[in-house]
């Protein structure tokens, strides 16, 4: 029987997740009649901090890619869990920009 002081872990295995999403800003001076998508692959450390990353799918426009990366850097994450223990994991962060 588990002790009364044992920590309950409702989700023992989970992928890294976004805790707070920083909204990406549509780059000034740019307009696209179609949605523009950027994917940024980030590595999340056991403490939830970003330890690495790169643009996995570029929009082809540096300003959109830079805005997506800034959004990732300003967001917060929860680490991957394996058997209730935080471990390093990855997260594919997708941003789709739509014109106003």
pLDDT in tens, 18-58: 999 999 999 999 988 999 999 999 999 999 999 999 999 99
Phi, psi for residue 26 in degrees, rounded to 5: -65, 125
Is pLDDT of 5 > 60?
no
- Delineate the domains of the chain, giving CATH numbers in brackets: 17-23+35-97 (3.30.2420)
User: Which residue intervals of 1-100 are DSSP H helices?
Assistant: 62-74
What average pLDDT does this structure show over 8-21? 93
Average pLDDT score, the chain: 92
**Local structure of 64: helix, strand or coil:** helix
CA 50 to centroid of chain Cα atoms: 9
pLDDT computed for residue 2 by the predictor: 52
Residues linked to residue 44 through DSSP beta bridges, in sequence order: 50, 89
The pairing of strands 17-20 and 76-78 is: antiparallel
């Amino acid at each position: 029987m588990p002790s009364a002081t044992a920590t309950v872990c409702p989700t023992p295995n989970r992928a890294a997740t976004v805790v707070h999403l920083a909204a990406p800003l549509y780059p000034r001076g740019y307009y696209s009649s179609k949605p523009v998508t950027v994917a940024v692959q980030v590595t999340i450390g056991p403490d939830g901090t970003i330890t690495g990353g790169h643009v996995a799918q570029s929009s082809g426009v540096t300003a959109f890619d830079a805005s997506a990366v800034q959004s990732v850097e300003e967001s917060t994450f929860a680490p991957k869990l394996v058997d209730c223990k935080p471990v390093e994991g990855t997260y594919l962060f997708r941003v789709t920009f739509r014109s106003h």
